[in-house]
Structure 1
Amino acid sequence: MENTKILLLDDREENLISLKAILNRGDIEIYATTSPNEALRIVWENDIAVALVDVQMPGMDGFEFAETLLSNPKTKEILIVFVTAISKETTYAVKGLKTGAIDYLYKPLDPYITNAKVDSLIRLARSQKEIRDKNKLLENYATIILNSPDIIATVEPETGNVISINPSVETILGLAPSSLLGVTILDLLVDPVNSSLREVLVKRSYMGGDTIVVEDQFYGRLRQPVWLELRIMYKNRLLFVNLHDVEKRKAHEKALIYAQSQAEKARKVKEAFLANMSHEIRTPLNGIIGLGNILAATELDESQKDLISMLRQSSGSLLNILNDILDISKIDEGKFSIIPTSTDLRLLGKGIIDLMKFKAEEKKLNLQLVVADSVPESVKADGMRINQILLNLVGNALKFTQAGNVFLKIERLSEVSAGHKIKFSVEDTGIGMSEEHLSNIFSEYGQASENTSHQYGGTGLGLTISQKLVRLMASELEVNSKLNEGSQFFFTLVVQDANERVGDAKPPVSFQDLPPFEGKKVLVAEDNPINALLLRKYLKTWLLDATMVMNGREAVDAMKEQSYDLIILDTRMPEMDGFETARYARNQLHIKTPILSLSATVLPEEIDQAIQAGMNDTLSKPFEPEKLHTKIDFLLSRGAANI
């Protein structure tokens, strides 16, 4: 038996996830969306039997959505159940039933009740479908025709003359039924020559026996065009034509097309903003980190070394905030992946404590790592993302704790068939939160209260990205908190044992200790003076003969004068950017020298654009000099590019 198609409509993604989990079964096919307009498209294109619809939604609420479905013959048979957190007062129930719903489900949803009601609705939907299929075989439509809100007519196939037509033609088109008898139905069309109906009559495509559906514009009252949907069926040498007013649907389709156009514009604006923001922040940040690297390579006393360490920590925190913003965007667009690798959870926890201990010491807080003995030595997990989550949680705990303790705990709850169930938690003795504020803390750019950001600072992004990352790992970030007593944030992951041990991380290598590339010529186009200074310093240390220019135009002039072993181009420069420069070098100058793109954005679109322009590799700012050295070594070893 064919699976029953069910629509889930709720403006909150987490509610859709919950419903899909409850209804995860083999005999149904689920379509889920947070957009009422998208839901209208889904019901139009798919044979939806049951719709579970949230009542309270922005733009078009559940009642309006139900009325829209009910107003269209193609969708009015859909069984609608409202899913709501509104009280069970009679007024709401009556309103829902009047707009077309047949039942209610109340949040929080009970899985057993939900499945039982869905079972009942599926049986009802299948029964109704059987009845509708049988009704198509009936030949006597007299009573239905007279009472139908649609125009229903019988038409002579060869001539197109109207043999009979019901009273609805007067309501919809303002024409008396008696005046149309013997009139060719094509004479009622706005454009009979190019009409879909004319094509059906001429090609006799109705002879296949299927119901044919077309749309055409008819003249209505005062000669105003009216869009009608025609359902044409051939029976007993006659055409039975059902004409339904689809002006509302056409308006919705137009609104949907406009909304899609606006959404696409908004997406492009968002991409442009993220690219510009990434560039404008990463460019000076690369200078800060690079200058820190250069200073670290000089003779320093212990106090100065501590200052450099704090400089690196601060720039790293700024980079984390920027990455959080970009990560949220990538998760929302479905461009983010969890990549499990061999991970030492003890080493991971120790690294977090070591990184945050300066902040704890500043506030005289006791920051401790507690790892249970039962935690496996090495597991398969996305250590980078777990580290990102726990850094956010520990950073928040330190921020909102004025005295006492902050504990990072990792414990093994149980052994399961898929591996180990590990609990990660961060506990503090800080300001805590009241019940009313807990609901807002995971929302984007949201914080517990309005004055939190003024008193303690922060963007409100940390918990948002943490929750999204935890959900990508099939878990949920939860919180227990009491005002003025502290908070506990925790989540659990199921992980497998790793086959190999995790080695100790290699300490970063100073750029001065990296091997040289003596005798090689490099052309560098970089408009930012600080980044140009850093590149000149790195390249000179590695014995590279570097020609420095300020933009792509100067780079092209330099390429015309002499040849180079490597070309390094910043992507965003005045007069001629890196993409244009690379294309010109490849297509006009026919240069095959390897080209490395330096970009202050990590968006995949710009990386792809660089490769398409003819560059061989990319490096995103801010970068460590060791990574730049690796890229240069690889490209120089390739010699001429294979283009």
Structure 2
Amino acid sequence: MAGSDAVHGPNRRAAATRLDDLRQLRRRLLFGGGALITVLVLLTAIVSSIADVEEFHARERHSFNEARAAVEYYLLQRDRAYATSINGNDVLWRDQRPGLVATGAALAGRFHAQGEEVLVRAEGRTAVPWLVLGLKNNPLPEQELAAYLGMVDIYSAYTADSITSQNAAGPLLVYAYEPQGRLLAVSNIRDESQLLQTLGVATRQQAFARLLHEEAQVRQVPPRPGPIREAAREGRLLSRYDINPFTGQPSLVGMVTLAEGTSPYFRRVVFESIGTIKAQLEAREQGRYLVTTADRQVVLSTGGLTSREQNLLMTLPSGNAGRAGAQPLRRYSHGRFVVACRLPGVDWTLGHVYDWSDVWRSQGPYLLARALSALLIIGLLWWLLQRIDRRVFTPALADASRVYESEALSRVIIGTAPIGLALLSRSNGEPLLQNDAARQLVETVHEAGEDTTLPPLYARLAELGRNASIDEVLELQWSPAESGTATQLQISMAQATYYEQPVWVCALRDVTAQVELEDNLRRAREDSEAARQSAEAANRAKSAFVATMSHEIRTPLNGVLGHLELLARSPLQPGQRERLDRIRFSADALMRIISDVLDFSKIEAGQLDVEPVPFALRPLIEGVALLFAPDALRKGVRLYFTVDAAVDQLCVGDAHRIRQILTNLVGNAVKFTESGRILLRAEMQGGAGRDTQLRVQVIDSGIGMSPEQAAQLFQPFQQADASVSRRYGGSGLGLALCQQIAQAMGGQVSVESTEGVGSSFTLLLPMQVQALQPPPMQPLLGRRVTVLSSTPEWRAEMERLLVAWGANTTLLDRPKNGDEGGDALLIVGDHRAWSNEEELQLMQGYARTVHAHAQGPLSAEARGDRIEVSSYASEAVLEALGPGESVDGRPPAATPAPVPAASEARGRVLLVEDNAVNRELIQQQLEEIGFAVDTAENGEEALVQWQDGRYRAVLTDINMPVMDGYALARELRQRGQSLPIVAITATALASERERCLAAGIDDLLLKPLNLERLEAGLARWESSSGKVERKPPTQPVPRTVSAAIRRIFVDTGDKDLQSIADARAQGNASYLLERIHAFKGALQMLGEHSLAEQCGAIERDLRDAMPVDEEALDALQAALQARLDDYRRDLEQPS
């Protein structure tokens, strides 16, 4: 290979040189040609633009010539008109002199008589008056005077018809005088005073001097004898720019010389308006023009010349404008183009100016179009060149470069490859080319002492190539004759040509170590698969254990809790009911502990389910506090709770899981706190919507923990240390379960603790909130309530609660003199810092006294001179403080047992349950809530007694002999039955619900099952199968309540029922809530707990802004009316 590199090294350098030459040639062809074309395009655009500018200059020159022609034509016509007038005057003076004298002789007398002054006016309407004045000190001979007066008479007759007069804007002012200054005639002037006033002089001599001041200049131009053709050239017309002395307006002044031969005999001066010339100019061309005199006076300007442009035209030397009729002068100065020329017959110069802005306004679009076209062409050209370079030349050069690089790289790869590569001649197996790896491999497997030209391995490979297929990788176990170990080779071969010689391309790899490794891995995989199967078997056993434990534990608990609930609905004394309630709370606690164990197993099995639903947080917090209040009280630990006002709204979350966490945290706080207090605090953090978080803290003054103990607290089966386990018991499972449940809901549990001081556990959960619709009522609006408590925590919490209910609240830490009293006195807590006498004295000022303490009943009860309730039941506190009830001081009556609903009041259901105890319990529960029940032990027996249209719903267990609940549901669905099928099971696995839905089961209820959940589960599906109104049972009226209170109940009940009907008709949910709440309080005080529970259910729906079943409201109204009728009949009977 080294030799090969030495041979091909110069070739690679030559290839690189050729590539560089190609790249340079590509640059010359593409980019050099592109640059040349770009220059040509730019030159073309520049030449074209210059041509456009030159075209504009040509148009401007043409416009100037047109304007010049217009002014010159006007002057030429004027000159000819004057020449004609002069010739006519000369003929008249020469040939008709006697007639003039005769006409003037008649005027001469008046002339002399009026002091050398006469007003001459010929006959006719168009005659123009002429004032003729003379000088007494320099009179004319009479014959000449008469001839002049006759001439003026003719002027009077024909002045208005002259061309000059017709072109004038107003009355034409012309004056004439005798060259010696002895006679002056002025048109359109009636007397000398008008003339003097118009000229602004005082005497006639001054007037003569004013009008004849140019005579000396005119005499310098000798007139030629007539007849004439050009008045100005033949010395008969002298034109100049001056101010009209009569009007003060700029005018073209024409001084006409009338001569007899070469001797002037009369001069006539005519004033023509400059506006006439300007109009002629503007009518022909629109542009910036300026007409100036030889002494640089501005005659006229057009087109809005700027002062700078006007100065530029005026500074042109008059001689540079050329003589009249010559080519105009063109000049460029200060960014402006100037064209000027002299005008014939006058000493005027006509100038025209324009600048680059005019060029741009005229030619800009064309110049811009050419520039854009050039840029576009150049851009397209270079884009095309770049595209050709990128798509053609660059890939071609890259391909060529890659070919050379690939060849070089291939040689490097072959030389450095860790596998052996060799080219073997197909004829004899001789190696033509091989790398070091192949050489070393051949030497490794070469037989010791062998000295042959062709290695046996290559001979063997050539034989394999001739006899075997070359489409697959071959493996060869090569064992040299004298070697004790075998080498496993992996061989790949392919046919090729090398220097026109057929060869085998051979790839050789020693895979001995790999084969051994694969054998080891195969054995490891077999061991791993066995371990996996063992783990899966253990996991299945765990899942089976969870299912079995869930079923086996929940089934007997279902019997315990169910029968306790039925017992609660039987007649009991308040004390008995209180004990029963606490038994039920303890049973529920047992159920929660068992659920913790099962939940932890479900978490490990990945089967924990979280079901977010709307719920109210305050009842949940109060329920947790109430559960542990007896234990805390026994230990002398004060248990408080505080709920932020922002929490009094609907939250969306898994209330069961939250209660499960809080029960564990509060239970631990009670367990590890020997004295002091425990505070359960709930509040909302963050903004509204998805950013809201629920923060619940459990703060205790217990034993506390060190940082090391707190760090391992959330590990399963871990406690602070062994002494804690020995002293307080417990498995250490609860906090780990709490943390995992919190994390499943997107939150966490954290702890802050100081050893010997106490601990603070914080539950932080993301929480959606829903505002109550309608907004919460204020049932105590306007009522004055005084809170008396020695505990700041209770005072703060009760104040927050009472303010939310609308009460006017006063807080007292001990009774005080001078208290004004109010509607109710609320005494909170078990610890008092005052005497009974002080308390009794304070009670005198209040209509009602309510004592809320840890051992108080869950519903308001009258005990002696006060009403007692639990401090952990806000609804009971509200009932005790609410309006409309009174206490007569008698001990409360035993709660009457609810009479079971009439058979088939709500229809008939089919109950399928294999366990006789559970079947009997569920049957009693169904009958308790108003259903008639048919029972069956399994699915097959249920199908035997099935009758179409007989049942409203089917309640079935899942795991039963003969035919289970899944098969029963599938069979009913196949028969076309669409009634609700509800499964009742003790298996608490998340997968159970999916299997139920797949089998056609509508809902799943988990044991243990209480009446409320059973009622709610059936109510969800009851409307689909048609609901029958429940007839309210007739019950005996309790006589333990005073007749006065029963009378008040009857009198106000009718009004409240009517108010309920009105509120429903008007859709006023807030007023409906208020009336139902008032009814519930009155019913509880009377001991009508069954009806009170119905009111409470409707009330909860209204408070939670949930849709209320109208049929349920109808049934409630009917039950209330029936009960009012019972009380009314009882009051009418003689006692």
User: TM-score higher than 0.5 here?
Assistant: yes
| One of 1014, 1018, 1034 as aligned partner of 1:628 | 1014
CA distance in 1, matches of 2:604, 2:698: 26
CA distance in 1, matches of 2:928, 2:943: 26
Contact 2:618 2:647 in 1 (8 A): no
For each residue in 1:459-515, what CA deviation from the matched residue of structure 2 results, as whole angstroms up to 9, or x when unmatched?
Answer: 4332112212333455542223344443222244566764447979999xx997889
**How many angstroms does 1:305 deviate by?**
1.1
CA distance in 2, matches of 1:290, 1:392: 24
Q: Does 1:354 align with 2:626?
A: yes
The one-letter code matched in structure 1 to 2:995 is: Q
The number of residues matched between the two structures is 477
Contact 2:478 2:486 in 1 (8 A): yes
CA distance in 2, matches of 1:312, 1:432: 32
The one-letter code matched in structure 1 to 2:921 is: L
Contact 1:370 1:407 in 2 (8 A): yes
The one-letter code matched in structure 1 to 2:572 is: L
Q: Does 1:308 align with 2:694?
A: no
Q: Does 1:618 align with 2:1004?
A: yes
**How many angstroms does 1:447 deviate by?**
2.5
Q: Does 1:290 align with 2:567?
A: no
**How many angstroms does 1:139 deviate by?**
4.0
- SS of residue matched to 1:140: helix
The one-letter code matched in structure 1 to 2:937 is: M
Task: Judge which range, 397-406 or 548-557, deviates more.
Answer: 548-557
**How many angstroms does 1:399 deviate by?**
1.5
The one-letter code matched in structure 1 to 2:981 is: I
- Inter-CA distance 258–429: structure 2 relative to 1 (3 Å threshold): same
- Inter-CA distance 348–566: structure 2 relative to 1 (3 Å threshold): closer
Contact 2:900 2:930 in 1 (8 A): no
CA distance in 2, matches of 1:395, 1:136: 79
**How many angstroms does 1:580 deviate by?**
4.0
Contact 2:902 2:930 in 1 (8 A): no
1:356-505 matches, within 5 Å, as: 356-371=628-643, 377-378=648-649, 382=653, 384=655, 385-410=657-682, 419=691, 423-450=695-722, 452-453=724-725, 455-472=727-744, 474-492=746-764, 498-500=770-772
Q: Does 1:599 align with 2:985?
A: yes
- SS of residue matched to 1:609: helix
- Inter-CA distance 252–401: structure 2 relative to 1 (3 Å threshold): same
| One of 920, 930, 938 as aligned partner of 1:551 | 938
Contact 1:566 1:594 in 2 (8 A): yes
Contact 2:983 2:1005 in 1 (8 A): yes
- SS of residue matched to 1:546: strand
**How many angstroms does 1:255 deviate by?**
4.7
| One of 527, 533, 554 as aligned partner of 2:920 | 533
- Inter-CA distance 538–162: structure 2 relative to 1 (3 Å threshold): farther
- Inter-CA distance 142–470: structure 2 relative to 1 (3 Å threshold): same
**How many angstroms does 1:358 deviate by?**
2.4
- Inter-CA distance 470–615: structure 2 relative to 1 (3 Å threshold): closer
**How many angstroms does 1:368 deviate by?**
1.0
Q: Does 1:573 align with 2:960?
A: yes
- Inter-CA distance 310–140: structure 2 relative to 1 (3 Å threshold): same
- SS of residue matched to 2:933: strand
- Inter-CA distance 462–556: structure 2 relative to 1 (3 Å threshold): same
> More relative contact order in 1 or in 2 (CA 8 Å, sep 6+)?
1
Q: Does 1:609 align with 2:881?
A: no
**How many angstroms does 1:563 deviate by?**
6.8
CA distance in 2, matches of 1:491, 1:234: 74
Partner of 1:523: 910
Contact 1:475 1:493 in 2 (8 A): yes
For each residue in 1:338-383, what CA deviation from the matched residue of structure 2 results, as whole angstroms up to 9, or x when unmatched?
Answer: 676666655543343233222322322100124567x665485636
CA distance in 2, matches of 1:234, 1:393: 79
- Inter-CA distance 531–437: structure 2 relative to 1 (3 Å threshold): same
- Inter-CA distance 390–173: structure 2 relative to 1 (3 Å threshold): farther
- SS of residue matched to 1:392: helix
For each residue in 1:161-189, what CA deviation from the matched residue of structure 2 results, as whole angstroms up to 9, or x when unmatched?
Answer: 9987759989999999966435469989x
**How many angstroms does 1:278 deviate by?**
0.8
**How many angstroms does 1:553 deviate by?**
4.6
- SS of residue matched to 2:412: coil
For each residue in 1:236-286, what CA deviation from the matched residue of structure 2 results, as whole angstroms up to 9, or x when unmatched?
Answer: 994757654551444454455444434433332222111111111111111
Contact 1:565 1:594 in 2 (8 A): yes
- SS of residue matched to 2:678: strand
Contact 1:342 1:500 in 2 (8 A): no
**How many angstroms does 1:217 deviate by?**
8.8
Contact 1:162 1:183 in 2 (8 A): no
> Please, which runs of 5 or more residues in structure 1 have no aligned partner?
1-133, 205-213
RMSD of aligned C-alpha atoms? 5.4
For each residue in 1:514-570, what CA deviation from the matched residue of structure 2 results, as whole angstroms up to 9, or x when unmatched?
Answer: 897448443322232321121221233355443333334543444499975543321
Partner of 1:92: none
Task: Judge which range, 631-640 or 429-438, deviates more.
Answer: 631-640
- Inter-CA distance 302–380: structure 2 relative to 1 (3 Å threshold): closer
Partner of 1:117: none
CA distance in 1, matches of 2:667, 2:492: 64
**How many angstroms does 1:153 deviate by?**
5.9
CA distance in 1, matches of 2:992, 2:423: 60
CA distance in 2, matches of 1:224, 1:563: 87
1:184-333 matches, within 5 Å, as: 202=471, 238=505, 240=507, 244-245=514-515, 246-247=517-518, 248-329=520-601, 331=603
CA distance in 2, matches of 1:136, 1:625: 87
CA distance in 2, matches of 1:162, 1:517: 104
- Inter-CA distance 494–574: structure 2 relative to 1 (3 Å threshold): closer
Task: Judge which range, 309-318 or 250-259, deviates more.
Answer: 250-259
Task: Judge which range, 559-568 or 395-404, deviates more.
Answer: 559-568
Contact 1:421 1:493 in 2 (8 A): yes
Partner of 1:30: none
Contact 2:671 2:728 in 1 (8 A): yes
Compare the two structures and name the one with the higher helix fraction. Answer: 2
Contact 2:613 2:654 in 1 (8 A): yes
Partner of 1:181: 458
The TM-score with structure 2 as length reference comes to 0.36
For each residue in 1:298-335, what CA deviation from the matched residue of structure 2 results, as whole angstroms up to 9, or x when unmatched?
Answer: 01112221222122212222232343344445555666
Contact 1:297 1:512 in 2 (8 A): no
The one-letter code matched in structure 1 to 2:753 is: S
CA distance in 2, matches of 1:174, 1:323: 75
- SS of residue matched to 2:1004: strand
The TM-score with structure 1 as length reference comes to 0.59
The one-letter code matched in structure 2 to 1:605 is: S
Contact 1:274 1:326 in 2 (8 A): yes
Contact 1:365 1:404 in 2 (8 A): yes
Larger Rg: 2
For each residue in 1:121-165, what CA deviation from the matched residue of structure 2 results, as whole angstroms up to 9, or x when unmatched?
Answer: xxxxxxxxxxxxx999654346655xx5xx656699x99x99877
CA distance in 2, matches of 1:227, 1:253: 23
